[in-house]
Structures are given as structure tokens and as C-alpha cells.
Structure 1
Amino acid sequence: MARLTIKGVSKTFGASFAVRDFSLDVDDGELVCLLGPSGSGKSTLLRMIGGFERPSAGSILVDAKDITALPPEKRPTGMVFQSHALWTHMDVFNNIAFGLKIRRMPKSEIKERVENALALVGLSNYGNRMTTQLSGGQQQRVALARSLVLEPKILLLDEPFASLDQHLRERLREEVRDIQQRLGITTLFVTHGQDEALALADRIVVMRDGGTDQIAPPDVIYREPKTEFVAGFIGSMNFVRANIRNGISEHPDFPLAVPVEDGDAVLAFRPEALVLSPSKTPNTAIVHRSIDFGTHRIVDIDLADGARLKAMTPPDVDWTRGSLVEPTATAYFAFRDNKLIHQSAASGELQTNRVFGHV
């Protein structure tokens, strides 16, 4: 289909940077998720690619052709917005056909392409319905069909499922991924939901303050976070502060090997890497609560210094509130000044198939 190249793109609003010197190559047929908190520049970047915002600096190319100065209607892109942006005075057919009519295509071709688009998104025979008669999920399918019917080289999705309930969101993202792979269309998907990014993406771009902290496939992002921010933003992560002396953490609960220069560090470990054992020693960790999710339990524990951590345990072991436990980290990361300075060998074995909403 197409290759997207973003070279040193920046966007300023007054004296503030929304996006700062951003560069990215998206391969033909690849689905890349832009992931980050609100205000990180995700949607602004997507709008610049779609032509709805002009970059303050840098260039955007599709198949090596510079499209930076082109208006949205002249770009080989299709954009699906969070708000659906459907016309309520038109039926489904005419919503989807609108762009084709602007291009003055023959009526017979318009009819064929609209019907094909409706079939693609699972809405055959819905053409005569008004958009107000559709559910939120059906409206989002119409918005997707309206973009796909124009046969764009690049598909842009700006948090399209944010307003939907969790089960519908999960089902639609699977359908979108199936459609994207079937068409082989190059896609950028903006989300602040880590579960969506991990489920959909070939690669994830973790954005912060208009720039990137890490760009990598989902499993690498999870198992090998390069910054403390990425570690805390993807999945659930426990953090404790410790002083490192002679290659050993001096934290009373986690005397871990950290072969780096002496000084303060942040130790991090996933809930599934935290093993709990019963303890009779005073001033150890105390169980705050235990939640049974069927396939596993999430146990909140309070350390003596007041820190609260999460551990993932088998479902058949019940941990009573107030019980004394000894936590052991089987895999861990160490960060200093937001940068990874050490990773235990076992960290690379952590699994990405976690139930993120539960931890």
C-alpha cells in the first residue's frame, strides 16, 4: 500500500511545543500505535499527518512524496475521529458515499464501493438507516467505512473506541485489526489505552511531552522498557526507591544485585515477578487486600516504609487481610534519572499476556 515517513516534525502553539522534533518511519502495511497520556502530542501528530494541522517544522512523506503542504482532501489519507463525525441528516449510505460524490464518481461505482465498504465492516443492509438509529459501535463502523471507501494509502485512527464500553471496544479493535490485515493498509492508531496498543500494534510509539521515550514491538516495550516512564505506563509496575552500595540494593525488603555505580535508584518489578511467602517476622510487609479474578489473584501489600505494591498470585491461595508476608522479586529493573541502568536476566522472560485492567 504505502510507506509513511515523518521527518523532524514539530508543532508549536505560542511558546509551547505540542510535538517536538518527531521522526518515524512506518512500513508498508504496518500498524503503529501512538501511545501516551493526555497532552503528549499524539492527536496533534495524527492531525498533522491528516492535514488538519500544519507543522511548525519538519516534513511528512508518503511513498517519498512530500505531502506537508497539501490540504486534507488532497492527501492519500483517511481519518477516523473519536466523535464519529457523522452527518445526522443523512442515512448511512449517503454518509459513506459523500467523499465519492465529491470526486464525481459514477453512481454505479459509488453504489458498488459503498456496498463493499458496508460488507467489510459488517453492516450490509444498513445503508437506508439513519445514523441516529445506530448504536455507538455501529456508528464507529460507519465512520470506518467512510474512510475506507476512499481507498486511502494511510489510515489514521484517533482514539476511535474511547467512548465505547469495554466489551464493545475489545470486539471492535479485533475487527479493525482483521480489516487492516486483510487490506494490508498502513495504519496509525492513537490511544491512551495500553491494552489496545498491546493488542493491536506491530510497533508502539510511547510519547511524552511531544517526543518519544521508546519505539519498539509490544513484547519489547513490556519486557525491556528503556525509561522509568515507559515501565510505569505499560502494564502495571511496582516502584521502590533504594540506595545502591557496592552493587547491592540497601532496601530492607529487596536486597537485590544492581551492578552499577553507587547512588540512589528506582527499583521496578511487575506484579507477576513478585512472589509472596508467609512470614512471622515483625515489621515485614502486610496484606492490605486480595482480589480474586478467577485466573489469578491480585494482592496489595503494604511495606514498612508505607509503599504499597501489587503481586499476582495463583487463584487457589487466599491471602487474608493483615497477614504478614515476605515479598521476593524474581525479575526487576533499575532506573536512574528516568533511564534504565540495569535489568535482571529474568526480566526478559516476563509475559505480555497480562490482564492489564486488573492489575
Structure 2
Amino acid sequence: MSKLSIRAVSKVFAGGTTAVDNVSLEVADGELVCLLGPSGSGKSTLLRMVGGFEQPTSGRIAIDDQDVTRLPPEQRPTGMVFQSHALWSHMNVFNNLAFGLKLRRRPKGEIRDRVENVLELVGLKGYGQRMTSALSGGQQQRVALARSLILEPKILLLDEPFASLDQHLRERLREEVRDIQLRLKITTLFVTHGQDEALSMADRIVVMRDGRTEQADRPELIYRDPQTPFVAGFIGTMNFIEGRVENGRFLHADVAVDLPVADGPLTLAVRPEALALVHQGGGKAIIHRVTDFGTHGLVDLHLSDGTRVKCMVASPEPFHAGETVALNPRAFAAFRDNVKLYGTTHAQ
């Protein structure tokens, strides 16, 4: 059993810059939790504090109820995989992997067996004598993962490990890493700014902004039921339409829906797949561009107040640039003063 506990952790750098502001998080045994956010949100700083590469200004970090807040990295039961691979180019793959075990004075036979086993685990069986400089970027990242796993850490830490790889390789590697994580049942904290990676890999996603947690939830709830405008706009594509509620109805020049909230200004949040387009009905939204993705179409529109919105359609054929259409939201959320008042963005 390996669990991670982060309690009220903050990090203030010299000069007064607050990178992490009073964050608490519990990661259960075998769970993969993704820290997701834009650059400067504090996600990598939080990960580095868990690994011991940064010291918290305040708060507590525990692994299996043992306080590790002030322990150096080499004394923590964690394994870190960096974006830059951080491999020793003058060593072959075997020696890169064996280095940590040699420092721990493990027997030669055990080192050989563990290196062979971990190479097979990451799909690099037979690569032990290759120089790391002769490997592709994806192979180097597999070696970096193997180097962390060979020490059998209780907590695996991944700091944007796929950011330097091309899209196709990134997608393949994240599937492989997730398969390995599930097979080993290793507790994992993963940092990324890629929404697709978070949604496809994580058991839970923690969305961070300005050093704070905006929302922590299962991927499907983060997408379907965002609790703040920031989360709604950061995860996936979201249309925001500004209007007013009067007598239980949201009013905009191009959109009107029943909305049981108090009167006043309000922001409607609608996913492209939850927005239907109707040629009839006197609509005034103007189609700007239609894109055919094969599996679906995407229609870009201008509303009368200049707002740009996107709509996903099953087939792009009925729609053409310059036409006017009416908008019919099938599902939506409503925000006022950064507070969610109503709804879900998931269309049944």
C-alpha cells in the first residue's frame, strides 16, 4: 500500500512570488492523479516538492503516513521521470539503469536480472548495450521510465515526460505508460499541460491555476461538470455567451433558454457538441467557416455581438459559409461572478 498525502503545502520563492498556495491533495494506493494547468500554475513546483527537489515554505508531505517534507530526494521512496530524460550519454542503457542499484550495493546477479526485467517491461528487451545517444526520443523516454521503476519506488512522479515528442509518439507512449502503471499498480502523480493526456490517462485530474486548486475530480466530471469558468474554458473547447437573465429566461440576441436563476448578468457555457444549429427560425448567427474532419464537422459562427462560437455537427454538408442559422443549446452551464449557478455541459 502506497499513498501520498499533501497537506496545506505552499511555496514562496525569493522575492515574494507564490508558486503554490495552500494546496492539499490525497492520492490513494495505485491511483494515477494528473496535475493539469497552464504554465505558471504551480503544478511542476508541487511535483518537485513531492520529489524533494524543492522545499515547501509551509505544509506537510507524507508517504504512507511517514513525513518526508524535509528529506532529500535520495532518501524518499519516489521515482522521478523528467521531460528532458536526464540520461547519462557516456553510459550505455544497462549502466544507466544499473547505476542506482550499484549505489545501493546490490549483488551483480540481482542487478542484471532487474535490468533485464525492467527493459522488457518498457518494451526495450535486448537494448542493454546500446548507447543512449543512439536511441530515438521515444526510446530514451522509455529508458528514463525504466530507470525510475527499477528502484521500485512507492510513488512515481512524471514531469511532462512526453512534451518533447511528436504527437503520434506521444499518444503511443502515454498508452504504454498507463498500461505499465496499471500492471504495477504504482501510485503516480503526473504533470502535464495537455488536456488529452490528462483525460486519457488519469483516474483523477487536479486543475491548477495561480498556485491553487480550481477543481479535483474524475476526468469525465471535469469535462461534463466544470465548477468554475476557468475549468470550463481550459478543459476541451467551450463557448461562452454573455447575456442576462430576466424572469427565469436567459436572453441574448442569438440565444434564449429557460434558466431558473435570479435575474442579472450571466455567462452561458456550451460545448460545441451540445449546440444544435437550425436553418429555420429566423436565426441571425452567421456561419464563418465549415471544417470537415471526416468523423464530424466543425462550424465556426459569428454572433451578432461579435462573439465567436463553435458547433460540432455530424455532417458538415448542410452548412455553408455566409448562411444564417439559429442556435439551440441542448445542455449548458451558467456562471455569474465566477460561481456556477446551474447546469451541466453534457448533452444526453
TM-score band (shorter)? Answer: over 0.9
Tell me the distance in 2 between the aligned counterparts of 1:336 and 1:47: 35
**Contact between 1:280 and 1:324, CA under 8 Å: does it hold in 2?**
no
Q: CA offset at residue 315 of structure 1?
A: 2.4
Q: Aligned partners of 2:287, 2:239: CA distance in 1, in Å? A: 15
Q: Tell me the equivalent position of 1:12.
A: 12
Counterpart code for 1:73: E
Alignment of structure 1 residues 139-178 onto 2, 5 Å: 139-178=140-179
**Structure 1: unaligned runs, 5 residues or longer:** 351-359
Query: Shift of residue 317 of structure 1?
Result: 2.8
Secondary structure, aligned partner of 1:110: helix
Q: Which residue of 1 aligns with 2:67?
A: 66
User: Matches of 1:215 and 1:203 in 2, distance apart?
Assistant: 7
The letter for the 1-side match of 2:317 is V
* 2:143 partner SS: helix
- Moved >2 Å (runs of 4+): 315-318, 347-350
One-letter amino acid matched to 2:227: K
Tell me the distance in 2 between the aligned counterparts of 1:292 and 1:339.
36
Instruction: Specify the SS of the correspondent of 1:256.
Output: strand
Aligned partners of 2:91 and 2:131 also within 8 Å: yes
The corresponding residue for 2:278 is 277
Which residue identity lines up with residue 188 of structure 1 in the other structure? L
In structure 2, the residue corresponding to 1:221 is in which secondary structure? helix
CA contact (8 A) 1:279 1:324 kept: no
Per-residue deviation at 1:181? 0.3
**Alpha-carbon distance between aligned partners in 2 of 1:167 and 1:108, rounded to the nearest angstrom:** 38
Deviates more, 1:315-324 or 1:238-247: 315-324
Deviations 1:200-223 (A, max 9, x none): 000000001101011100011111
- Normalising by structure 1, we get a TM-score of 0.94
What one-letter code is carried by the residue in structure 2 that aligns with 1:308? R
- Find the counterpart in structure 1 of residue 328 from structure 2: 328
How many Å separate the matches in 1 of 2:315 and 2:121? 41
- Code of the residue aligned with 2:208 in structure 1: it is M
Segment of structure 1 superposing worse, 14-23 or 310-319: 310-319
Give the C-alpha shift of residue 98 in structure 1: 1.1
* Correspondence for 2:93: 92
State the distance in 2 between where 1:40 and 1:167 align. 27
Deviations 1:75-116 (A, max 9, x none): 000000000011111111111111111111111111111111
The count of residues paired between Structure 1 and Structure 2 equals 347
Residues in 2 aligned to 1:238 and 1:103: alpha-carbon distance in whole angstroms: 55
Distance 2:159 2:338 in 1: 28
1:164-196 CA-to-partner distances (Å, cap 9, x unmatched) read 111110100000000000000000010001110
Q: Does the C-alpha gap of structure 1 residues 280 and 181 become closer, same or farther in structure 2, counting only changes over 3 Å?
A: closer
Q: CA RMSD in A?
A: 1.2
Separation in structure 1 between the aligned mates of residue 81 and residue 188 of structure 2, nearest angstrom: 11
Residue 319 of structure 1 aligns to a residue in which SS? Answer: coil
Q: TM-score, normalised by structure 2?
A: 0.97
Amino acid corresponding to residue 337 of structure 1 in structure 2: D
